[in-house]
Homo-oligomer: A and B are copies of this chain.
Amino acid sequence: MSAGGSGAAGNPGKDPGSGEDRLIARLFEPLARHPGALGLKDDAAFLDLPPGHQLVLTKDALVAGVHFFADDPPASIARKAMRVNLSDLAAKGAVPLGVLLAIAIPPDMSADALEDFARGLGEDADRYGAPLLGGDTVRTPGPFTVSITALGSVPMGEMVRRTSAPPGAAIVVTGTIGDAALGLQLRLDPGRPGFAALDGAQRAFLAERYLHPRPRLALAASLRAHALAAMDVSDGLVGDLAKLLAASHVAGAIDAARVPLSDAARAAITAEPALLETALTGGDDYELLAVMADAHLDAFHARATAAGIGAAVIGRTYPGQGLVVRDEGGAPIAFARSSFSHF
């Protein structure tokens, strides 16, 4: 992990040894307890891979004002950046090995904010067994930007793909869907009638689900054992399922009524049915979406229940192409977001 840079482009980077450099060293070096991180004092980290395993790699970037609110607590921004990446590992059946972090720090970001960010990162590194291995800190005249590369491992050849869903299998989703999208809507437009129907605890639940994804790493091994294909739900259930089906060259149908909803989401949608579309097409769920043979459903369900997460069959795959979302009468629901029509 290095701080600053080379003073290129006429805008000098932080001097090596500057106060900001020392602050960053003080904040991040304590997180680098993995031996391969070399205390962030070298040009690179090293990492061993368990014998018989292969690496799983993912990298997501988040920008203030685009992927999170600039005034979100910095520790929450760190958690979100960690967890959206760890969610990808979970969906591929991988166990985390560690992360690399790059942050671009705007001029007005305080030392306290950076310290809070580092604290959130360190807590998640411990919680999910994903130690900080290295990275880079640079300055930017733009918004706070975070990029995390997450490394995980799977037994050789066992990474769960997105492209391998067969026809005639069940479509399964973990946890509850739509909470984060409703939490975002609640934050943007709290006066909507659907949210007026919620009590304080329900509103707090939705807000929390938006702010803090929960990567389903506890089910990674179960996905390897039971899923034929999987991905995480990051861009909305309907859109992501359409992507998975298209990548696998199969069709699918799901019943909106079978999509698992939290009490809070159900109450909001009951009070304002238009919010169903928000729940089904909004993003940031970070639940697992999997296709599995019927014979595996009971075992997966038992593992999910044991993990306190839950899993629900919401539909099936078929030969053909396209995704149909059915209402309770079996009629297709049309969604306003045209993008899904591409699949």
Contacts and interface: CB of A to CB of B under 8 A. Distances in A.
Contact of A17 (B8, B47, B340): B340
Contacts of A46: 54-57, 154, 159
Interface centre among A6, A156, A162 (most CB of B within 10 A): A6
A104 B61 contact: yes
A188 B67 contact: no
Interface string A151-163: 1101010010111
A274 interface: no
Contacts of A151: 55, 57
Interface of A: 2, 4-11, 13, 15-18, 36, 38, 41-49, 54-69, 88-89, 91-92, 94, 100-104, 133-136, 138-143, 145, 147, 149, 151-152, 154, 156, 159, 161-163, 184, 188, 210, 231-232, 234-236, 239, 243, 247, 282-284, 337-343
Give the oligomeric copy count. Answer: 2
Interface centre among A55, A100, A231 (most CB of B within 10 A): A55
Taking chain A's interface residues, is the majority helix, strand, or loop, or is none over half, making it mixed? Answer: mixed
Contact of A343 (B17, B42, B147): B17
8 contacts: A7-B184, A8-B66, A8-B68, A11-B66, A44-B57, A57-B151, A66-B139, A141-B143
A191 to B, nearest CB: 15
A87 to B, nearest CB: 9
Contacts of A135: 59
A136 B141 CA distance: 21
Contact of A142 (B136, B142, B154): B142
Contact of A5 (B67, B94, B104): B67
A94 B159 contact: no
B149 A18 contact: no
A44 B58 contact: yes
B15 A65 contact: no
A232 B47 contact: no
B58 A55 contact: no
A235 B136 CA distance: 14
B138 A67 contact: yes
B18 A339 contact: yes
Interface centre among A47, A48, A142 (most CB of B within 10 A): A142
B54 A47 contact: yes
B63 A139 contact: yes
B161 A5 contact: no
